[in-house]
Amino acid sequence: MASKSASESPRTPRTVDDAFTDAGLLDTEASVAKRTNRRGEQTRIKIVQAATECFSEYGYTRTRISDITHRADIAQGAFYRHFAGLDDVFLAVLRPGMTELAEAMSRRLSTEDELAVLIDVNVAYLHAYSRHRKVLRLLREAAAASANEGFAQLWLNLRGDFVKRIQRWLQRLRDNGLIGDTDVELLAETLGCMTEQMAYVHVGLVASTPRRERIDALGRAIGEVWFRALPPPSGPEDGSALRS
């Protein structure tokens, strides 16, 4: 009997709001109630900008609402007209980086010219990560330290979506006879973890944002390892379809 296709896995949330809701972090009705008119939008933008600076400087666990309101030069009452609390504004801070990272992760992994595609996908992922590296690093901090378990679930869902995409791609390769029989779920997990950890250590944790050339080199190295990790198809040609 044919194995269950990876494409039958739960579909990736289409929006960041879906991801927040799935993790239990976003109350849709409360979010609607907090929406402001055009006159209040500039204040909201100012709060999010100040929050981004404070979270990046002090970290998730040490940032206070008073830090944000002081930097934004607003009263605390103005803050609460737009956000329910620290976790609510933290979601607004996370939104741009998560949106761009999701777009980078959604780039289709084709089954042609594999090496070039794998390099391109990983380079795009690392550049997106680099542009929001401080905020994405904060998500890992929140996942580990927050009493709100939703942040840990959000981080798990984010990386889980990435792994599922890789798994579906591996399944297509295997179904088309381009790679040999393998545990596609485990291989996808391995490849996804490698990319995620390389991004976190070599892009997120370093003192300054890596130069473009460094990120390109990291993406090329990861893409080449992905390519070499693909099991060759069984048969007389023994892997020449992907290795030629």
Residues in the chain: 244
Q: What is the pLDDT of residue 32?
A: 47
With a cut of 50, say whether residue 90 has pLDDT above it. yes
Taking a C-beta distance cutoff of 8 angstroms, is the pair 192, 168 a contact?
A: no
Q: Which of 25, 30, 61, 31 is nearest to 149 (CA)?
A: 25
* Confidence band for 239, pLDDT divided at 50, 70 and 90: very low
In the chain, % of residues over pLDDT 90: 63
Percentage of the chain surpassing pLDDT 70? 82
Average of per-residue pLDDT across 192-209:
94
Distance CA 221, CA 178 (A): 22
Could you report the per-residue pLDDT of 64-76, keeping only the tens digit for each? 999 999 999 999 9
What's the pLDDT tens digit per position in 15-64?
788 888 999 997 655 554 455 666 678 999 999 999 999 999 999 999 99
Asked whether residue 13 carries a pLDDT value surpassing 90, the answer given is no
pTM: 0.79
Q: Per-residue pLDDT tens for 97-154?
A: 988 988 887 766 665 677 888 999 899 999 999 999 999 999 999 999 999 999 999 9
Average model confidence (pLDDT) across the chain: 85
pLDDT for position 29: 53
Could you tell me which residue, 199 or 239, shows the higher pLDDT? 199
Whether the predicted pLDDT of 2 surpasses 50: no
b/e for 77-107, b at 16 or more Cβ within 10 A?
ebbeebbeebbbbbbbbbbebbebbbebbee
Q: How many CB atoms lie within 10 A of CB 193?
A: 13
At 109 the pLDDT is 65
Q: Give the model's confidence band at 184: pLDDT under 50 very low, under 70 low, under 90 confident, else very high.
A: very high
pLDDT given at position 1? 29
Could you give the CA distance from residue 119 to residue 238 in angstroms, rounded to a whole number? 23
Per-residue pLDDT at 130 = 95
Q: What is the mean pLDDT of residues 167-176?
A: 91
